[in-house]
Structure 1
Amino acid sequence: MIMGLLGRGLLGRGFLGRFLGAGWLLAAPALSPALAEEPLVGSFLAERACPAFVSLRKQTNPGEVRLEVGRAYPVTAANRAAATHVLLTVAEATPTRRWAALDCGQLAVEAGAAPSSAPSSAPSSTPSSAASSTSAFVLALSWQPAFCEGRPTKPECASQTADRLDADHFALHGLWPQPRGRAYCGVDAAAVALDKEGAWDRLPAVALSEPTRRALVRAMPGTASFLDRHEWIKHGTCADAGAGPGAEAYYAASLALLEAINASPVRALVAGRIGGRLETADLRQAFDAAFGAGAGQRVSVSCVRDGGRSLIGEIKLALAGPLGPEVAGVLAARIAAVPPVDPGCPGGIVDAVGQQ
């Protein structure tokens, strides 16, 4: 079902709530049912309206409950190590604990906890792992005036003006394959060392078409400090952007995501609060309005200190795939396909251009 930029599957609630931590594995279906119970923590995305049983042995289903296609359910157990069924929490059902067949959807569980019968397509964290196995991303968007408060000498900050796009629009920071430790796929050791040293100007230039390059320079002010090289080397090399792996596809998808957010009521809300305070709850409500109920629960806000002020510095959006450059039409579904995340800081000031 889900291939391309973000691959198949979801991330578990614990990981996405932190955007850090353990890796996640995607499980494929096995066959024969059993009755033992193996503890499991993860999420199950329903692809078929299968029955949700209270008892596998008796096939009992009080209320004739069926899975809702497209809905993600919390997972608490598998029926055995060589799993064929998973135990879900269906909040509106009585009782809430329900068994569903593994082949009724897509399961994602914490690393090391996947049912042994289910071959994993999860990405390796080694630099040589294939980009096409990426399962999910976090989109990081910066509020550039806040970023520049503490970095006034950086080229992108010294050149910032009130009429430049990033004065009142989100700027692209990065699109990060998950888990976060997944990085530097197929990158040689010398380039990794340069990146970790912060010598981004010595990294190879990113191969992009001229239209994509122009769009990226406008959307990612950090290109003035070679942020594009860093993001590609560290994160983009582990991504498959729908049309195939490569910097062009990776940044085309990143730009499409940024454009969708900046064209939405989310950006309008933030820009309208410049100089004032914005509550994270209000920002999340704007995501709900723009991308459907519950979308805001997939957004985390990071704040930065500037003297005695707390500024909105960045938002991080968790989402599943596929994406690709046509993502605007399917973004709501991609956001809905992942569990909620921690909201982050409760709110802060939306900074204006210039040192305050």
Structure 2
Amino acid sequence: MQRHLSAFLLSALALALPILAGPSRADEPMQGLFKAHQACPALQSIRKQTNPGDVKLQPERSYKLLAKNKPDASYYRVEVEGASPPERWVPVDCGETANASGKAPEPAAPAEPGSAAGEGGRAYVFAVSWQPAFCEGLPDKTECRTQTADRFDATHFTLHGLWPQPRRLAYCGVPQADIEADRSKHWDRLPEPVLQPATRRALEQAMPGTASFLDRHEWVEHGSCFFEKSAEAYFSREVALIAQLNASPVRKLFADNIGRQIQASAIRAAFDAGFGAGAGERVRVACKRDGDRRLIVELTIGLRGDVGDNPSLSTLIAGASPTDAGCSAGLVDRVGLQ
């Protein structure tokens, strides 16, 4: 009898040990990709803020998404190849998710508002920057060294890009040599988009990054997949869309609050006021850390429909899917290193 009891206890203990030894995680599994916008520290432990190897994410690179730390996530767990250990935690406002899903999936992020050409038309992400915040992290870029308080981009949104969706839709028909030059950030080696003089002038105002050949990068990676294979059509319509944004209550909200913090809820309300009820639900706010400040650096806006000769931002926003708000609040930065 004692031998049978001992065998039973050993068997029960063997079953219990894997449970006791296994990781006790409250995080929720996710699938998809996380695209970094900043060189954020990649932590092994959120609580201890440990970072073996002083690992940082590479801006504009995508990482395998593994989990979020809670339903209302403040950190995502991603896989960083070459790091030891490779599973790391990064703040949600370090970038954006694409194709994200899991046990408790979040609303679709602007990086993936829908299929490229499904019911309701083509889908896009329209990304616009707040240039002073962008320049805090990259002060040596030509467009940042020359920025002044009276220049257009000090008080207006600027173009980052118009990205056909899904995100895997990139480099359509682009020669391999240009793809390699783009990925290695040798944008000066890329062909210059062919534009009418008036379009070029308007683009240089709306996209100060043309001084660093951002237009070449955007055309090669994203514009090459635009439904009209014409740089003139692609950029002139982007310019038309951002002109509508800069004439809206959203731009006024930012310009009136330079040097102050604003809430994502206020940004979304301004979109509703300017582009119709529900428009704000299609907007995601991206922030970055600058010392002890959290700056609003970019808005990503979901669009769906035909971006034709006279595109309507209101109509295109209304066709997109809702998304999460992203960063809950941030500072509207002013020109100059703070």
Compute the TM-score of the two structures, normalised by the length of structure 1: 0.63
- Structure with more of its chain in helix, by fraction: 2
Query: How far 1:12 sits from its partner (Å)?
Result: 11
Query: How far 1:19 sits from its partner (Å)?
Result: 3.5
Which of the numbers 316, 331, 338 marks the counterpart of 1:349?
Answer: 331
Q: Give SS of 1:138's match.
A: strand
Structure 2 CA distance for aligned equivalents of residues 251 and 26 of structure 1? 20
Query: How far 1:347 sits from its partner (Å)?
Result: 1.1
Amino acid at match of 1:225: S
Structure 2 CA distance for aligned equivalents of residues 16 and 189 of structure 1? 35
What residue number does 1:284 align with? Answer: 268
Question: Does the C-alpha gap of structure 1 residues 292 and 267 become closer, same or farther in structure 2, counting only changes over 3 Å?
Answer: same
What residue number does 1:100 align with? Answer: none
What residue number does 1:266 align with? Answer: 250
What residue number does 2:209 align with? Answer: 222
Amino acid at match of 1:156: E
What residue number does 1:17 align with? Answer: 108
Which of the numbers 128, 132, 151 marks the counterpart of 2:138?
Answer: 151
Which of the numbers 258, 261, 281 marks the counterpart of 1:297?
Answer: 281
Q: Give SS of 1:17's match.
A: coil
* Counterpart check, 1:336 vs 2:318: yes
Q: Give SS of 2:297's match.
A: strand
* Counterpart check, 1:198 vs 2:182: no
% identical aligned pairs: 52
Structure 2 CA distance for aligned equivalents of residues 17 and 352 of structure 1? 31
Amino acid at match of 2:244: A
Question: Does the C-alpha gap of structure 1 residues 292 and 12 become closer, same or farther in structure 2, counting only changes over 3 Å?
Answer: farther
Question: Does the C-alpha gap of structure 1 residues 214 and 21 become closer, same or farther in structure 2, counting only changes over 3 Å?
Answer: closer
What residue number does 2:154 align with? Answer: 167
Structure 1 CA distance for aligned equivalents of residues 263 and 220 of structure 2? 34
Query: How far 1:333 sits from its partner (Å)?
Result: 2.1
Structure 2 CA distance for aligned equivalents of residues 309 and 276 of structure 1? 11
| 1:1-356 mapped onto 2 (5 Å cutoff) | 17-20=108-111, 24=115, 106=119, 135-240=122-227, 244-327=228-311, 330-356=312-338
- Structure 2 residue runs of 5 or longer lacking an equivalent are 1-98
Structure 1 CA distance for aligned equivalents of residues 100 and 277 of structure 2? 20
Structure 2 CA distance for aligned equivalents of residues 19 and 289 of structure 1? 20
Structure 2 CA distance for aligned equivalents of residues 21 and 290 of structure 1? 23
Amino acid at match of 1:249: A
> Does the aligned pair in 1 maintain the 2:153–2:206 contact within 8 Å?
yes
Query: How far 1:326 sits from its partner (Å)?
Result: 1.2
> Does the aligned pair in 2 maintain the 1:288–1:295 contact within 8 Å?
yes
Structure 1 CA distance for aligned equivalents of residues 215 and 222 of structure 2? 10
> Does the aligned pair in 1 maintain the 2:237–2:308 contact within 8 Å?
yes
> Does the aligned pair in 2 maintain the 1:15–1:22 contact within 8 Å?
no
Task: Tell me which structure has the larger Cα radius of gyration.
Answer: 2
Structure 2 CA distance for aligned equivalents of residues 203 and 332 of structure 1? 33
Structure with the greater relative contact order (CA < 8 A, sep ≥ 6): 1 or 2? 1
Structure 1 CA distance for aligned equivalents of residues 301 and 156 of structure 2? 16
Structure 2 CA distance for aligned equivalents of residues 188 and 271 of structure 1? 42
Structure 2 CA distance for aligned equivalents of residues 255 and 287 of structure 1? 18
Structure 1 CA distance for aligned equivalents of residues 314 and 114 of structure 2? 25
Q: Give SS of 2:202's match.
A: helix
Structure 1 CA distance for aligned equivalents of residues 137 and 292 of structure 2? 13
Query: How far 1:23 sits from its partner (Å)?
Result: 7.5
